[in-house]
């Protein structure tokens, strides 16, 4: 399937920012696996992209289901022997006030947004290590910035109901820092670059399409980090305007 093309996997890619990221990566010349928890929605998304002249391959992937992740890892190992790009985009949002947020709310959000990231990286790391210039992009959020939140920055959206989501994205940022340090210290993994990306306040179903940015604008930073040159950064947090405060 890939030939000489770099192989990219985008999780949660049957709609929104994930789907647009898959589109843009394919147009950059990568062979793209469009990950979707629901295989029918994944196929529909791939067909929709095909109608625009963009070829991607839908794959069933539930980042919260180890069996699903393992099945995909075996397929990648058998068919390709490597993975060049991993975009950890799959995410969920549970809206509740800080006082009303329960441990169950937190577990639900962290299961996908944090533990799913760890599961994918841990499982696919050997395949990423086999690539010449592997890239990992963790899709975060400006709302996950401790510095901006504590400093009272005017981050768009309803900040009264997003504590679980913000906490999960802050955790993703911490994962990015620690993975980057660990990779840099390991000669077998030092060629892997990993960064966090914030798409900005984007119009998706997660915010009832109240966002002010398009998915095309949102995907730009993700694609840029997924296709970094060898002298590009690792262990950073970026928007399409540049570095973001942790």
Residue 113 lies in a domain: yes
Residue 1 lies in a domain: no
Question: Structure pTM?
Answer: 0.96
Q: What is the pLDDT along the chain (246 residues), one digit of tens a residue?
A: 456 899 999 999 999 999 999 999 999 999 999 999 999 999 999 999 999 999 999 999 999 999 999 999 999 999 999 999 999 999 999 999 999 999 999 999 999 999 999 999 999 999 999 999 999 999 999 999 999 999 998 899 989 999 999 999 999 999 999 999 999 999 999 999 999 999 988 878 788 888 889 999 999 999 999 999 999 999 999 999 999 999
Residue 201 lies in a domain: yes
Catalytic residue among 165, 179, 183, 237: 165
How many distinct structural domains can be found in the chain?
1
| Domain ranges, residue 214 | 7-243
Residue 2 lies in a domain: no
**Residue 73, CA atoms < 13 Å, CB-side half-sphere:** 18
Check if the beta carbon of residue 12 is closer than 8 Å to that of residue 91: yes
| Farthest CA pair distance, the chain | 53
Structure tokens at 76: 């990648």
Residue 235 lies in a domain: yes
Domain CATH number, residue 147? 3.40.50.720
Whether 165 sits among the annotated catalytic residues: the reply is yes
Among candidates 128, 145, 41, 46, which has minimal Cα distance to 87?
128
């Amino acid at each position: 399937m890939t030939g000489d093309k770099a192989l990219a996997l985008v999780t949660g890619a049957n709609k929104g920012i994930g789907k647009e990221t898959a589109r843009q990566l394919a147009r950059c010349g990568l062979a793209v696996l469009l990950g979707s928890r629901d295989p029918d929605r994944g196929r529909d998304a791939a067909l929709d992209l095909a109608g625009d002249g963009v070829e991607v391959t839908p794959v069933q992937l539930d980042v919260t289901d180890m069996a699903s992740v393992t099945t995909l890892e075996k397929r990648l190992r058998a068919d390709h022997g490597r993975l060049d790009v991993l975009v950890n985009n799959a995410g969920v949002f549970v809206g509740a006030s800080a006082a009303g947020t329960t441990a169950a709310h937190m577990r639900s959000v962290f299961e996908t947004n944090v533990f799913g990231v760890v599961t994918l990286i841990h499982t696919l790391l050997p395949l990423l290590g086999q690539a010449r210039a592997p890239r990992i992009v963790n899709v975060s959020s400006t709302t996950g910035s401790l510095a901006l939140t504590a400093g009272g920055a005017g981050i768009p959206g309803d900040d009264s109901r997003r504590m679980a989501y913000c906490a999960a994205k802050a955790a993703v940022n911490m994962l990015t820092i620690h993975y980057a340090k660990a990779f840099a210290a390991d000669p077998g993994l030092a060629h892997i670059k990993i960064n966090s990306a914030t798409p900005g306040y984007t119009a998706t179903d997660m915010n009832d399409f109240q966002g002010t940015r398009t998915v095309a604008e949102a995907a730009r930073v993700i694609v840029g980090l997924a296709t970094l040159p060898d002298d590009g950064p690792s262990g950073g947090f970026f928007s399409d305007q540049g570095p973001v405060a942790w």
